[in-house]
Chains A and B, each alone.
Chain A
């Protein structure tokens, strides 16, 4: 359980985080979404006890991160944006160091290492020097060091940045599996990543909280981009056939659908459209639509 209340952090003359509040329930995966420099990393650093906030409070499992950073660090696993590894050491030596650093009892260290090596698929590079392993393995090693002490909360800063598509899928699956044992926060500026992995998302921009969205909310919104314009008759047809659809309208080349609750199976809707010869080019999950609305509306207001 992560509770953040009115958190603010100011550096010399930059307000990096400005009055952010949100909550993440136990066993959930939440995403921090926002452009680069939005304050995602700073917020994460506050949550790990690395930086103290200027104002506000952050609590993890009821413990104030600022009052007792040591206690926080025992229950939090953290993967910084740049994977922290020592290239002079081997994977084995590094994991042993991290295990000791996290205060794992000497006798239990081999088991802890075995567990994370298996979990992150590092068997192939176990004896190698970190200097000589690939980017993908490094990232996995970074995750391994974050989970070695079986943390209750896992904070991952851009866990898939710089990876190839196959590696991204692998890491995402890994993150999803952490849900069984931990609450996870991850930051990303890739919308698809958040929709695929997260139960909710906090949209941050310029240090401010722009929106808090849950999977239920973005699951209700859908945008279907078509290459042949769908007429109003299609919209009214959709609403009649599918009672779950509360709103359907055409906006430019897109057909926008709002559901009464999050949709699990979209196939009937697509079949309906295909049968009526609507050419579908792209289906945008609701988060993308909502994100654009939040971020662009802001820019529109300013200009």
Chain B
């Protein structure tokens, strides 16, 4: 456990001493903010229009009109953002030739992987926390339901955690950070769009592919539903890439 913390601390230091974390945060807040204000303006306009046409106002739902599209957009931004956060995790160690020192230190390989993973996850959690200002600001002017907001954030966090796990794995494959980012980006994107393939495929496949895609699970959580099935899905997609990362190192020894 101590070695996990040692690695995570070092990793966090490097994140925070280098411009990466700040630039990514700024990028995420900028694009996120842009989407938020846009969707907010759209929701406003829709509400006005509906009110004018005599639609009962108590049936309008700010969670559905504002937050669902907002969280969906945030998820898409993450597909671009998180590979940039994770790309250096192992690739940089390899390039700077520090990997040998890490791997010959008396710590379990799993501690190194988990430590690095947790550091990236912490940076991500920090960025996510900053975006909460968008959500909190709506409480000043309206009365959104807090529960679906919280499950949405949990969903976003879990999905990001999966992206980071995939990125960690991709980073272990190469010493080139750009390649690492490209691998994680395309893997995440492909898993994302599995639901599209699923939608048009034959019956049995449809179910499998839809289950494998992030999309359906994330949608449940945005909708305010916490289903153990979705949690299990996300947790296993966190575990699998991290486990494969370990396998990469084991395999490389014998190559």
What residues make up the interface of A, taking CB atoms closer than 8 Å to B?
Answer: 11-12, 45, 48-52, 70-71, 73-74, 76, 78, 80, 82, 84-89, 93, 97-98, 100-103, 145
Contacts and interface: CB of A to CB of B under 8 A. Distances in A.
Contact of B13 (A12, A89, A103, A145): A89
A100 B13 CA distance: 15
B253 A52 contact: yes
Contacts of A11: 255
A101 B107 contact: yes
A45 B100 CA distance: 9
A100 B11 CA distance: 14
Q: Which among A84, A85, A97 has the greatest number of chain B C-beta atoms within 10 A?
A: A84
Interface stretch (B2-10, B196-204, B230-238): B2-10
Given A78-B101, A97-B6, A100-B6, A86 B96 contact: yes
Contact of A50 (B10, B103, B107): B103
B106 interface: yes
A148 B253 CA distance: 26
A99 to B, nearest CB: 9
A80 B97 contact: yes
B133 interface: no
B137 to A, nearest CB: 35
Nearest to A100: B6
5 contacts: A45-B100, A80-B101, A85-B96, A100-B2, A100-B3
B13 A84 contact: no
A76 B108 CA distance: 16
Interface in B173-221: none
Given A51-B253, A52-B253, A93-B13, A84 B105 contact: no
Place the interface of chain B in its size category. Answer: 20 to 34
A85 B97 CA distance: 8
The 3 closest A-B pairs by CB, nearest first: A84-B101, A82-B97, A73-B106
B53 interface: no
B17 interface: yes
Given A86-B96, A89-B13, A89-B17, 5 more contacts: A12-B255, A49-B104, A51-B253, A52-B253, A84-B97
Contact of B10 (A45, A78, A86): A86
B119 to A, nearest CB: 13
A236 B9 CA distance: 71
A165 to B, nearest CB: 25
B247 interface: no
Nearest to A87: B96
Contacts of A45: 100
A187 to B, nearest CB: 14
Contacts of A84: 96-101
Contacts of B107: 101, 103
Nearest to A129: B17
Contacts of A70: 106, 108
Interface in B221-255: 253-255
B14 interface: yes
B104 A73 contact: yes
A102 B105 contact: yes
Nearest to A73: B106
Contacts of A51: 253
Contacts of A74: 106
A85 B10 contact: no
Nearest to A97: B10
B111 to A, nearest CB: 10
B101 A145 contact: yes
A12 B251 CA distance: 13
Interface string B73-86: 00000000000000
Nearest to B252: A51
Interface string B1-27: 011001101100110011000000000
Contacts of B255: 11-12
Nearest to A101: B105
Contacts of B99: 84
B14 A78 contact: no
A76 B17 CA distance: 31
B104 A86 contact: no
Contacts of A103: 2-3, 106-107
A48 B105 CA distance: 9
B13 A50 contact: no
Interface string B30-43: 00000000000000
Contacts of A87: 96
Contact of B254 (A49, A52, A78, A89): A52
B107 to A, nearest CB: 6
Contacts of B18: 88
Contacts of B103: 50
A85 B98 contact: yes
Contacts of A86: 10, 14, 96, 98
A60 to B, nearest CB: 13
A88 B14 contact: yes
